[in-house]
Structure 1
């Protein structure tokens, strides 16, 4: 276990998580708000997990599977990512639509942010989202990030809303 919150347990992804990753990354919400990661079958979901596990080894963090304590169900991903085009680690999260509206994203993102600052000693953590993703923008503001304008990451066609823990 990496993190535990009031209602969630966050763990590293394992190869056994391929069906969950396939469902999450193929979901409409993920593809519209985060992007198409090219995951179309269990094999490509396994490749996504391998890349995530390599990130854990290289950076000491990554996106972790969020399980609902009460049921043990995998509900989403949350954690920190070292993304190309960003100087600082990025807090990220994505949940299956059936778990939206329950506060899990805020809970997991806040715990990930605290872990980054307190356990990993990261001074600055950032976040990006689409300008249209008002739910995600609300989560980022709720966990204490401030709006820092826009940024265009390498390989992206559109600007992203950019948030940071740095004081303005």
Structure 2
């Protein structure tokens, strides 16, 4: 692998005090299949849980997104143990609202600040990558996600209804 490709890959890795965030590769497919099929995790996400086939398609889409945009979704790992915790990163909203921050970590991660740490690092990366406005969407009843978004400095910017749920829009401007 050339030095330029190695430099590009390492520039996409985000490291925090406790986390390592790495763009997903084929080696992450088994973890992603488990995460995205889990109702406790992806039941909150747009379009809900995913089949293994859909997860494989999304992995390809994530790789393409990184190549085209220079930012995307990361797999989130605990640095100390190397344990896969979930995902965090960016997607283009299919409803045209813009580039959205999203995160989905195992329920066992709740209350430990991992989502907050990953989301804060991703938001900073996105603004450094040139995103002037980043949004995030949370269901009204998802108090934990709303608290994370507020804590990392995102502010309310609207709402809409989706499949009977009141969805709150948050934004961050560079």
Q: Residue deviations 1:32-73, cap 9 Å, x none?
A: 2114456323x4432221111111112211110001001001
**1:137 aligned partner:** 146
Q: How far, CA to CA, are the matches of 1:15 and 1:46 in structure 2?
A: 9
TM-score by length of 2: 0.84
Q: How far, CA to CA, are the matches of 1:30 and 1:123 in structure 2?
A: 29
Give 2:25's match in structure 1, choosing from 14, 37, 49.
14
Q: How far, CA to CA, are the matches of 2:144 and 2:123 in structure 1?
A: 18
Helix, strand or coil for the counterpart of 1:125? strand
Q: How far, CA to CA, are the matches of 2:67 and 2:93 in structure 1?
A: 15
For the aligned residue pairs, the C-alpha RMSD in angstroms reads: 1.9
1:157 aligns with 2:168: no
**2:123 aligned partner:** 113
Change (3 A) 1:44 1:84: closer
**1:126 aligned partner:** 135
8 Å contact kept, 1:148–1:163: yes
Q: How far, CA to CA, are the matches of 2:45 and 2:77 in structure 1?
A: 20
**2:40 aligned partner:** 29
Give 1:90's match in structure 2, choosing from 91, 100, 103.
100
**2:58 aligned partner:** 48
Give 2:157's match in structure 1, choosing from 148, 158, 165.
148
TM-score by length of 1: 0.87
8 Å contact kept, 2:74–2:87: yes
Q: How far, CA to CA, are the matches of 1:47 and 1:9 in structure 2?
A: 24
Q: Which runs of 5+ in 1 are unaligned?
A: none
Q: Which runs of 5+ in 2 are unaligned?
A: 1-9
